[in-house]
Amino acid sequence: MLYIKDRDNLKSFIPEEKIFEYLETTKNPDKFKVREIIQKSLNKNRLDPEEMATLLNVEDEELLEEIFEGARELKRRIYGNRIVLFAPLYIGNECINNCQYCGFRVTNKNIVRRSLSIEEVKKEVEALEDKGHKRLIVVFGEHPKYNAKFMTETIRTIYNTKKGKGEIRRVNVNAAPQTVEDYKLFKEVGIGTFQIFQETYHRETYKKYHISGPKSNYLWRLYGLDRAFQAGLDDVGIGALFGLYDWKFEAMGLLYHTIHFEERFNVGPHTISFPRIEPALDTPIAERPPYALDDKNFKKLVAILRLAVPYTGLILTAREPVEIRNEVLKFGVSQIDGGSSIGVGSYSETDEEKIKKSQFLLGDNRTLDQIIEELCEEGYLPSFCTGCYRLGRTGEHFMEFAIPGFVKRFCTPNAVLTFLEYLEDYAPESTKKIGAKRIEEEIKNMQDSPLKKELLQKIEKIKAGERDLYF
Ligand code: SAM
Ligand code: SF4
């Protein structure tokens, strides 16, 4: 196979020695230096590795608070109040890999293996649409059954499944790295972001936890999204799984990955994810991760990622405890999943036992509506917007960041319109009230302008039954 040859010619772009050196030489940083770095980020510049290492080495509580405040300030200045909501949809948990932290791994004999048929996919999508979702991320194990053709057919089915006023307007993907040819099929079907998490950027650690199967090849995965770019997909998401190795090293890995994209493709990643290892069925490592990341350092991680790569979307999983979630949302997290269920078939299935056995993580029991209510109470504006992607404005995070007024011109009005659709079509009375108040506040904060006038007209149209209006 052609791609085997490709694999052999690759070299890692993660300079491990250099990372250790930076993390060592920047210990006990000077406060003026730290302030200078925060300021560089507030001036909308991506940080360099040595600067990120300096921030990672801040232990002084007051200085740490300045980092947190810097992240909050960056969010306030650039991103506004919107939080984009999406749901993960697990299509199949069969897998030929042997990732020690994952309940889907090939050696786990206790998990019930299941792949959704096209009919079952439709049912799941309808159940998600009934809750008000507009954006999904589809998740697949790695298995010959889930080839690119199968995956893209599934995505096509999702786009074509419409129930009542419901429709899925954007499908993101989290799946195994593909060949350039296979990525082209994903481009054809029109996906949003293709996500691949490197899990750990530390090569020895990677080897230790990825024992067999295609995923045991570190470089094939490391270059997985380069091939997506080569196929014309320029909307990619990177991530690391926190708990396998030193969190500071992983944060540096994410930054080097970002720089690699900037240098090679002139654009950084669309999103960065930073899941912490969660318990999984019959998976001892997930019960007790070797480098468990505590809440305090998790907060520090999110704030530093925000400052280091100010233009990128940060994705937080709703499984993080509410207190942590509320704190890190203030640092500029842009997307969270809501009302997620992570068993295969679990949105429409009623057999609880069956769901439990096909699930790989413990679920978050809050419904989408509960999460929306909580977000409103905290002053956020829930958004289901897919405007940029559908108007071909790819790289929207970069535009939000780089084009003055972009958020005010497009993102906030689109958040208002999509949130209003949710309130009209799916929300119970209590959420309707809170939501209407939030929308009122957002509109009050807008200056009188032709844009505001147009928004108010569109709001009336939605109230009268029109859907899918955006700027
Ligand atoms: N099979 C594909 C892959 O490995 O890239 C995609 C599906 S896999 C389930 C998606 C992600 O789940 C992985 O990249 C990993 O970071 C995450 N994951 C696996 N086990 C986990 C656990 N115990 N806790 C939290 N996240 C986990
Ligand atoms: Fe399979 Fe992905 Fe789980 Fe690894 S993380 S066992 S590749 S589903």
pLDDT reading at 126 higher than 50? yes
Which residue has a Cα nearest atom 1 of ligand 1?
141
Q: Give the CATH number of domain 81-387; options: 3.20.10.10, 3.20.20.70, 2.70.50.60, 3.40.395.10.
A: 3.20.20.70
Instruction: To the nearest 10°, report the CA torsion of 309, 314, 13, 2.
Output: -140
Q: State in Å: Cα 322 to ligand 1 middle.
A: 22
Which residue has a Cα nearest atom 5 of ligand 2?
102
Q: Which pLDDT score is estimated for 130?
A: 94
Each residue of 194-236: pLDDT tens digit?
A: 999 999 999 999 999 999 999 999 999 999 999 999 999 989 9
Which residue has a Cα nearest atom 4 of ligand 2?
99
Q: State in Å: Cα 156 to ligand 1 middle.
A: 23
> Among 16-20, 311-315, 346-350, which is the least confidently predicted range?
346-350
Cβ atoms of 31 and 61 within 8 Å: the answer is no
- Give the chain as a 3 state SS string: CHHHHHHHCCCCCCCHHHHHHHHHHCCCCCHHHHHHHHHHHHCCCCCCHHHHHHHHCCCCHHHHHHHHHHHHHHHHHHHCCEEEEEEEEEEECCCCCCECCCCCCCCCCCCCCCECCHHHHHHHHHHHHHHCCCEEEEEECCCCCCCHHHHHHHHHHHHHCCCCCCCCCEEEEECCCCCHHHHHHHHHHCCCCEEEEEECCCHHHHHHHECCCHHHCHHHHHCHHHHHHHCCCCCEEEEECECCCCHHHHHHHHHHHHHHHHHHHCCCCCEEECCECCCCCCCHHHHCCCCCCCHHHHHHHHHHHHHHCCCCEEEECCCCCHHHHHHHHCCCCCEEECCCCCCCCCCCCCCHHHHHHHCCCCCCCCCHHHHHHHHHHCCCEEECCCHHHHCCCCCHHHHHHHCCCHHHHHHHHHHHHHHHHHHHHCCCHHHHHHHHHHHHHHHHCCCCCHHHHHHHHHHHHHHCCCCCCCC
Each residue of 151-199: pLDDT tens digit?
A: 999 999 999 999 999 999 999 999 999 999 999 999 999 999 999 999 9
The Cβ of residue 31 has, within 10 Å, a number of other Cβ atoms equal to: 12
pLDDT reading at 2 higher than 50? no
> Among 136-145, 242-251, 270-279, 360-369, which is the least confidently predicted range?
360-369
Q: Could you tell me the two tokens for 410?
A: 């497009």
Q: State in Å: Cα 105 to ligand 2 middle.
A: 6
Instruction: Return the ligand number nearest the Cα of 275.
Output: 1
**Does the Cβ of 375 fall within 6 Å of ligand 2?**
no
Q: pLDDT-derived band of residue 1, with 50, 70 and 90 as boundaries? A: very low
Residue 190, sorted as left (phi over 0), alpha (psi -120 to 50) or beta, turns out to be left
- Percent with pLDDT over 70 in the chain: 93
Query: 270 or 10, which is more confident?
Result: 270
Q: Which pLDDT score is estimated for 365?
A: 67
Q: Which pLDDT score is estimated for 87?
A: 93
* CA 96 to ligand 2: nearest atom: 1
Give residue 144's identity as a one-letter amino acid code: P
Instruction: Return the ligand number nearest the Cα of 241.
Output: 1
Give the start-to-end residue ranges of the domains of the chain.
16-75, 81-387, 404-463
Query: 5 or 287, which is more confident?
Result: 287
The C-alpha atoms of residue 418 and residue 459 are separated, in whole angstroms, by 10
Residue 52, sorted as left (phi over 0), alpha (psi -120 to 50) or beta, turns out to be alpha
> Among 37-41, 331-335, 408-412, which is the least confidently predicted range?
408-412
Q: State in Å: Cα 406 to ligand 1 middle.
A: 34
Return the ∠ at Cα 390 (arms to 389 and 396), rounded to 5°. 25
What is the average pLDDT value for the chain, to the nearest integer?
Answer: 91
What pTM was computed for the model? 0.94
* CA 174 to ligand 1: nearest atom: 6
- Classify residue 305 by burial, with Cβ atoms within 10 Å: 0-12, 13-18, 19+: buried
**Does the Cβ of 195 fall within 6 Å of ligand 1?**
no
The neighbouring-strand residues paired with 239 are 197, 273
Q: State in Å: Cα 126 to ligand 1 middle.
A: 25
Cβ atoms of 371 and 338 within 8 Å: the answer is yes
Each residue of 413-432: pLDDT tens digit?
A: 999 999 999 999 999 999 99
The C-alpha atoms of residue 129 and residue 131 are separated, in whole angstroms, by 5
209: Cβ contacts below 8 Å, ≥ 6 apart: 99, 100, 101, 199, 200, 244, 285
**Does the Cβ of 102 fall within 6 Å of ligand 2?**
yes
Q: State in Å: Cα 437 to ligand 1 middle.
A: 38
Q: pLDDT-derived band of residue 8, with 50, 70 and 90 as boundaries? A: low
